[in-house]
């Protein structure tokens, strides 16, 4: 292959630079053109070499990954995949990086210096390839909006017989999309919300807390036994499939309850959108709205089909506002989407479908 994806690897560990380079160079479509030892060195080499993609460590001396990313995105816009340590500090910094314009991230398996980093080699290769082809117009800096002080968080959610559910699936670009959609939803939304965002273990709790601070609805990471309540969003925890069981009182349905499991990954993914949507469609019948947002692959297409078969409604994000038009496209091409809308109209369309 002549036109290989040219990658710059930035990490303060010589071992990590070597191992990440070996992983990427093992793919015939990728070539590591240089490595850099910190953010300052990385900026210099991005300027000189103009790589197609940068892999960027977060915690580095002299100039860390966040500051380097900010400079790159403002001065030499280049697709960046962050490489994050699995820590609370690392998770917070990772979501700031996504706000700054990073395409996606991978998590080092065992800390800043991970001798077992080859365990995430396939994921890293896939994300570098995906980063090289993203719609870069949808990766500008975003600043989360804080909710108005007039809202008091939070009124208790309620299980209301007959109230439905909104089932949302997302992958690459999803955190940015969800940060735009969920803060626009009113706490009186007549449904509970379930969210599957492809994300590794250790990051979803931090992500949910960030979204909760910015939103009028209650948002948190799902736990087994959680009840699906009006005005509350539950985000599937990383490394767990999420499904829905129906709780009953006598002969009456009281509402949905979260079930989590670590069954084998599906298409290399855990959690999966399909697992959540399939069970939600069965549990809620026609009282469900399925939503597919930006992401690579086709996860969610089976779930959206099940929602349509159960007389529910479906929405997909349009191509022009997706970072990666993969998951929505699979559903659209299958003919199972009722409405295709841009990201800035998604919250409004969700509310419309719940009212009809």
Active-site residues: which are they? 171, 198, 299
* Calpha distance 190→322 (Å, rounded): 27
Query: Of 130, 125, 123, 121, which Cα lies nearest the Cα of 102?
Result: 130
From residue 253, alpha-carbon distances to 212, 234, 246, 284 in Å are 28, 20, 7, 10
* Calpha distance 79→66 (Å, rounded): 14
* Calpha distance 144→183 (Å, rounded): 9
Tokens of 87: 């820590």
Provide the terminal-to-terminal Cα distance of the chain, rounded to the nearest Å.
52
Question: What is the DSSP code (8-state) at residue 216?
Answer: S
* Calpha distance 290→307 (Å, rounded): 7
Contacts of 38 (CB under 8 A, 6+ apart): 10, 12, 60, 61, 62, 63
| Pairing assessment for the beta strands 104-108 and 80-85 based on DSSP bridges | parallel
Dihedral over alpha carbons 95, 91, 111, 108 (to 10 degrees): -40
Residues facing 81 on adjacent strands? 55, 104
- What is the H or E stretch that residue 126 is in? helix 121-131
* Calpha distance 249→196 (Å, rounded): 28
DSSP string, 31-91: EEEEEESSHHHHHHHHHHH--SEEEEESS-SSS-HHHHHHHHHHHS---EEEEEESSHHHH
Q: What is the CA radius of gyration of the chain?
A: 20
């Amino acid at each position: 292959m002549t036109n290989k994806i040219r990658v710059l690897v930035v990490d303060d560990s010589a071992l990590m630079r070597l191992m990440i380079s070996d992983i990427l160079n093992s793919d015939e479509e990728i070539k590591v053109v240089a490595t850099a030892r910190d953010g300052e060195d990385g900026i210099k080499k991005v300027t000189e070499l103009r790589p197609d993609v940068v892999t960027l460590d977060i915690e580095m001396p002299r100039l860390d990954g966040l500051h380097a990313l900010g400079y790159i995105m403002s001065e030499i816009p280049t697709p960046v995949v962050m490489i994050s340590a699995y820590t609370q500090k690392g998770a917070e910094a990772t979501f700031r990086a996504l706000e700054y314009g990073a395409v996606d991230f991978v998590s080092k398996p065992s800390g800043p210096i991970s001798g077992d980093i080859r365990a995430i080699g396939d994921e890293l290769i896939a994300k570098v390839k995906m980063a090289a082809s993203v719609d870069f117009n949808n990766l500008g800096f975003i600043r989360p909006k804080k909710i108005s002080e007039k809202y008091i968080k939070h009124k208790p959610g309620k299980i209301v017989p007959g109230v439905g559910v909104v089932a949302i699936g997302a992958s690459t670009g999803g955190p940015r999309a969800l940060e735009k959609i969920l803060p626009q939803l009113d706490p009186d939304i007549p449904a509970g919300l379930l969210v599957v965002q492809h994300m590794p273990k250790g990051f979803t709790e931090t992500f949910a807390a960030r979204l909760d601070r910015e939103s009028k609805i209650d948002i948190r990471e799902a736990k087994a036994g959680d009840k699906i309540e009006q005005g509350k969003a539950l985000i599937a925890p990383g490394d767990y499939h999420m499904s829905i069981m129906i709780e009953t009182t006598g002969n009456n349905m009281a509402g949905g309850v979260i079930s989590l499991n670590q069954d084998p990954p599906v298409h290399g993914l855990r959690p999966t959108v399909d697992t959540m949507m399939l069970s939600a469609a069965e549990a809620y019948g026609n009282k469900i709205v399925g939503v597919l947002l930006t992401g690579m692959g086709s996860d969610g297409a089976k779930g959206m089909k099940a929602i349509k078969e159960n007389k529910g409604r479906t929405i997909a994000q349009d191509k022009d506002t997706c970072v990666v038009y993969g998951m929505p496209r699979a559903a659209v091409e299958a003919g199972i989407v009722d409405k295709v809308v841009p990201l800035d109209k998604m919250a409004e369309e969700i509310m419309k479908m719940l009212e009809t």
